[in-house]
Amino acid sequence: MAGTDKTRNSPHGPAPAVVLVNPQLGENIGTAARAMANFGLHELHIVDPRDGWPNERALKAASGADWIIEAAVIHATLEEALKGFTRVYATTARPRGMVKEVITPEQAGSDMRARIGRGEKLALLFGRERWGLNNDEVSLADIVITAPVNPAFASLNIAQAVLLVGYEWYKHEATTLGQSTPELPALAGPGLQTPDTRPATKDELYGFFHHIESELDAAGFFKTADKKPGMIRNMRNLFARAELTEQEVRSLRGIVASLSRAHLKRKGTTGE
């Protein structure tokens, strides 16, 4: 989903830091930074980047999340990178054979929000592109995050992993959906969207029911009196399920009126 409003500053409230361990390609660092920006993560630490730093390819791949790349802190070792944190989460898909609590990204999101609220400093560890974190690196973490992925194909690239965990962190912090534009604000939430109109009132809906039913009656649609009540109920249920807006009700009434006029005109022309 494309969309970046560069006129707005990125939120820099308290959030977990992302720690990339020995990333190999600048492009992957950049796309990870882009994923961070999507979900309110802004502090990036990089341990021993293979291709050195700064990296122009990382900046280009960040697609506008420049502030994250430019403020990234580079460390020689993972222990050095973790010195200022109170709780560390290691992301991995593989069982490690060590005594370590394992949680899902969703559970991690809840845990991180509670701890950030208490003023803790949190770090999220993400490993190398080819083989992730080694056991010694995982042992430095307090808890392991493992996603419920297809066990036959569990590999995620760095940006995917950051996006997955970042979404679970941010989803309860978000106050809107998607992006605002100069013309329209961001969506307030899921559900029926009714720009420039509103849901129809029952009075408007019942008015439409009476209108279409009277016109169908005049046209001879209800062939037998005993079936008419059931046919009317079915039709009303159909339109009720549609959750019509006020504009849609007016349009439907216009359609019915237009068809009725055309029917009367044809009837007058043929002398029926």
Residues 28 and 158 in one domain: yes
Residues 140 and 259 in one domain: no
pLDDT tens by residue, 171-219:
887 666 566 666 666 556 566 666 778 899 999 999 999 999 999 998 8
Q: Where are the alpha helices (DSSP H) in the chain?
A: 26-38, 56-61, 66-70, 78-81, 105-117, 135-139, 158-170, 202-218, 228-241, 246-270
In a domain, 209, yes or no: yes
The mean pLDDT value for 158-166 works out to 95
pLDDT of residue 1: 42
Percent of residues, the chain, with pLDDT higher than 70 = 86
Q: Residue 103 sits in a domain of what CATH number? A: 3.40.1280.10
Q: Which CATH number belongs to the domain containing residue 237 in this structure? A: 1.10.8
Question: In which domain, by residue range, is 209 found?
Answer: 202-270
Is the domain of 122 the same as that of 209?
no
Asked, for residue 125, whether it belongs to a domain, the answer is: yes
pLDDT of residue 93: 82
Residue type, 64: G
Partnered with residue 103 across adjacent β-strands are: 145
Instruction: pLDDT band for 6, please (50, 70, 90 cuts).
Output: very low
Q: What is the mean pLDDT of the chain?
A: 87
The answer to whether residue 5 scores a pLDDT higher than 70 is: no
Residue 4 falls inside a structural domain: no
Beta bridge partners of 44: 18
Residue 2: per-residue pLDDT: 47
**Sole residue written with tokens 């013309």:** 183
pLDDT of residue 188: 63
Question: Would you say residue 21 lies in a domain?
Answer: yes
| 114 and 45, same domain (yes or no) | yes
pTM equals 0.71
From 170, 192, 218, the end of a domain falls on 170
**DSSP secondary structure string for all residues of 30-94:** HHHHHHHHHTT---EEEES-TT-SS-HHHHHHTTT-HHHHHT-EEESSHHHHTTT-SEEEEE-SS
Q: Judge if 151 and 209 occupy the same domain.
A: no
- 213, 232 contact by CB (below 8 A): yes
Number of domains forming the structure of the chain: 2
